[in-house]
Amino acid sequence: MTKVLYEFIPEKLLVFIDYGGIMGPEKKDENEISPGIRNFVNENINNVSKILKRLNETGLTISLEKPSFGNEHIDIVEYRYNSEGRIPIDRNISKIMEWNRPKNLKEVRGFVALSGYYRNLLKIFLPFWNYCLGLGEKR
């Protein structure tokens, strides 16, 4: 899918394997271009149309159960995307923040597996990571 839709990524489309999210315009232009149709809505419809056309041209299909339009946000692979950008889904951050201090290597590996996915938030729990890495060192 990435190969076929490369010209839309990352400005108009986010792709993860077989999941995709078409982004709305960066600026919400409220000017009406036709009665009841604002410019930002028209721009988004045009983006969706171009992407669907490309999928059709290349023989790729989409599930009719998955599409959803006009949302304030979408959740793709443990991240929420909205007009402010990408943020981790709350339930996973709370798991990380409430994680008990690991006491052995197995618990360290469990924490690293969960939190490593959100490495862009590393500064939030860097001291805890350093502690875990110390537990994982051979003595």
Q: How far apart are CA 42 and CA 84, in angstroms?
A: 21
Spell 5-38 as b/e; 16+ CB within 10 A means b. Answer: beebeeebbbbeeeebbbbbbeeeeeeeeeeeee
pLDDT at 108: 79
Amino acid at 120: N
Q: How far apart are CA 121 and CA 96, in angstroms?
A: 11
Local confidence band at 57 (pLDDT 50, 70, 90 cut-offs)? very high
> How large is the C-alpha radius of gyration of the chain?
20
- Taking each helix axis from N to C end, the angle separating 90-97 and 105-116, rounded to the nearest 10 degrees, works out to 150
pLDDT at 41: 85
94: three-class secondary structure by DSSP:
helix
What pTM, to 2 d.p., does this model score? 0.58
**Residue 120: pLDDT above 70?**
no
Dump pLDDT digits (tens) for 62-116. 888 878 877 888 887 778 888 777 777 777 677 777 778 788 888 878 877 777 6
pLDDT at 54: 92
**Residue 58: pLDDT above 90?**
yes
Q: How far apart are CA 3 and CA 9, in angstroms?
A: 10
Q: Looking only at Cα atoms, what is the longest distance across the chain? A: 72
CB atoms within 10 A of CB 108: 19
Where do the domains of the chain lie? 6-86, 89-136
pLDDT at 72: 83
In the chain, where does DSSP find H-type helix?
39-58, 90-97, 105-116, 126-136
Dump pLDDT digits (tens) for 4-55. 888 888 878 878 777 777 877 777 778 888 888 888 888 888 888 998 999 9
